[in-house]
Chain A
């Protein structure tokens, strides 16, 4: 039962980029098209799942003081593996994503989940958490990517959707579109949240993260990182 609970929390209640505001840089930069979003999401899912498993396996062996360094090394090793795999099998996508593949290692979602969840829970729960968060991240990126691609280029996964008279709104696939789209989605999520909590008569839902506030508020989730 708790496996199911840990799995589903990443899909809506703690949806990584939209609720926890974790790892915003790749969210903004690579979602120029639905395909890029999906590719980036799958890469992050892979690293997140494996790093959760490994961290959870070695959680009793690692001394408390050097745990962050160990987590960073584990995730960096996995990112190198992903880079090599992508170069071998999906080279065009690797080129499209550019420096954002190596930058998965500084994505706070990986370290955040390792520190907040995998280091305290048994392997099967860490798997559930990694899968749920990773799939939530992938879906969010694909959603944002499709939104921007449909408005900005008039296509969805490369297939035209509007017919040939549609004048693409190119701004949406450039940098400004990313900010504006993400801002509007976050606003919409807040709105849904407020309606939901009003219906239940509760105070607004707080975002649970490592340091107790949202990632964006503390500017990088790294207070926990070096302490």
Chain B
């Protein structure tokens, strides 16, 4: 039951893009088509979960015992950057079909603040490893969900006549705002 609540909370009530405003760049950049949005979203799920596991161990077993908590930012970004690079090489060698579909999104993920944001949030909320992994998975599932919704709307938008100055990024931000407004209706369903 608690797990169900965690998922509802992170996908709908505290959606990472629409309510917490993390990971806006891919939200605007990779939501032209549903295929691209799905690829980006699944790559993010994969990396966020991996990154959360690695940073959890680094924080609990290296930084905390040594009293180096203030180096969190520096250590996390280096872990994430090397992790992404490593995952890319690993997939290329061992799982070429998966690499074909996710590969082009991987380099884009290092500077996606959703990844680092989730890793830091898991530490700030002081979750244990199991809950941390679920938290990371639910958060990135929310990311995929918002990206897919946005792609659906934007595919429709292609056929409409938008004022020239508003076309492209401005109108998609305004639409994101309207979507966020509707997501606010979920408030109260969970913490």
Contacts and interface: CB of A to CB of B under 8 A. Distances in A.
B184 A174 contact: yes
Nearest to A222: B111
A175 interface: yes
Given A24-B28, A175-B18, A187-B165, A83 B70 contact: yes
- Looking at A107, A176, A182, A215, which has the most chain B CB atoms within 10 Å of its CB? A176
B53 interface: no
Contact of B112 (A178, A179, A220): A220
Contact of A76 (B73, B117, B121): B73
B111 A102 contact: no
B127 interface: no
A222 B110 CA distance: 7
A219 B189 CA distance: 32
B85 interface: yes
A164 B18 CA distance: 31
A78 to B, nearest CB: 10
Of the listed residues B19, B111, B177, B180, the one surrounded by the most CB atoms of chain A closer than 10 A to its CB is: B111
Interface stretch (B92-100, B152-160, B168-176): B168-176
Interface string B31-49: 0000000001000000000
Interface string A98-136: 010011011110010000000000000000000000000
B174 A183 contact: yes
Chain A interface SS verdict (over half):
helix
Main secondary structure of the interface of B (DSSP, over half): helix
Interface residues of B, number: 53
Contact of B169 (A77, A83, A99, A186): A186
Nearest to B36: A219
A207 to B, nearest CB: 10
Interface in B69-91: 70-74, 76-78, 81, 84-85
B62 interface: no
B3 interface: no
A217 B30 CA distance: 7
A42 to B, nearest CB: 18
Interface in B139-184: 163-166, 169-178, 180-181, 184
A203 interface: no
A29 B22 contact: yes
Interface of B: 18-26, 28-30, 40, 70-74, 76-78, 81, 84-85, 107-113, 116-117, 120-121, 124, 163-166, 169-178, 180-181, 184
Interface of A: 21, 24-25, 28-29, 69, 72-73, 76-77, 79-80, 83-84, 99, 102-103, 105-108, 111, 171, 174-180, 182-184, 186-188, 190-191, 194, 214-223, 225-227
Given A102-B116, A223-B108, 19 more contacts: A72-B77, A72-B78, A79-B74, A99-B117, A99-B121, A174-B184, A175-B21, A175-B180, A179-B177, A179-B180, A180-B173, A183-B171, A190-B164, A215-B29, A217-B29, A219-B28, A219-B108, A220-B26, A220-B110
